[in-house]
Amino acid sequence: MDFALSAEQQQIRDMVSEFVDEEVVPVADEIDHTDEFPQALVDEMAELGLMGMPFPEEYGGAGLDYHSYAIGIEEISRGSGGLGTVVAAHTSLAGNMLYEFGDESQKESYLTPLAAGEDVGAFALSEAGAGSDVPSMETAAEREGDEYVINGGKLWISNGSVADTVTVFAKTDPDAGNKGISSFVVRPEADDGFIVENTEEKLGDKGCPTAELRFDDLRVPEDRLLGEEGEGFVQALKTLNGGRITIAARSLGIARAAFDEAREYAGEREQFGQPIGEFQSIKHKLADMDTKIQAARMLMHKAADKKIRGEDYIKDSSQAKLYASEISREVANEGIQIHGGYGYTKDFPAERFYRDAKLNEIYEGTSEVLRNTIGDQLLDN
Which one, of 138, 145, 308, lies nearest residue 214 by Cα?
A: 138
Taking the C-alpha atoms of residue 248 and residue 73, their distance in angstroms, rounded to an integer, is: 9
Q: What is the DSSP letter of 151?
A: E
The total number of residues shown for the chain amounts to 381
The answer to whether residue 364 is catalytic is yes
Q: Position 331: which residue type?
A: V
| Active-site residue identified among 75, 212, 261, 364 | 364
Taking the C-alpha atoms of residue 227 and residue 306, their distance in angstroms, rounded to an integer, is: 25
Please provide the DSSP assignment of 110-128 as one string. Answer: IIHHHHTTSS-EEEE--BT
Taking the C-alpha atoms of residue 88 and residue 102, their distance in angstroms, rounded to an integer, is: 19
Alpha-helical segments (H) within the chain? 7-19, 28-34, 39-48, 66-79, 81-88, 96-101, 104-106, 112-115, 232-268, 280-309, 314-339, 350-358, 367-380
Instruction: Report whether 307 contacts 242 (CB < 8 A).
Output: yes
Catalytic positions are 364
